[in-house]
Amino acid sequence: MASLFSRARGAVAFGACAALCVLLLASPSGASELVMFERSGCAWCQRFDAEISPVYDRTDEGRQAPLRRVNMRAGVPGDLALAAPVRFAPTFVLVEDGREVGRITGYMSDDVFWGMLGSLIHKPAQSQ
pLDDT of residue 24: 33
* pLDDT of 123: 76
b/e per residue 61-94 (b: at least 16 CB within 10 A): beebbebeebebeeeeeeebebeeebeebbbbbb
At residue 6, the pLDDT reads 56
Cα distances from 79 to residues 62, 76, 95, in angstroms, run 20, 8, 10
- The reported pLDDT for the residue numbered 122 is 85
Phi, psi of 96 (to 5 degrees): -130, 125
Q: What is the pTM of this model?
A: 0.73
- Provide the residue-wise pLDDT of the chain in tens; the chain has 128 residues: 555 555 555 444 444 444 333 333 333 444 489 999 999 999 999 999 999 999 999 999 999 999 999 999 999 999 999 999 999 999 999 999 999 999 999 999 999 999 999 999 987 655 43
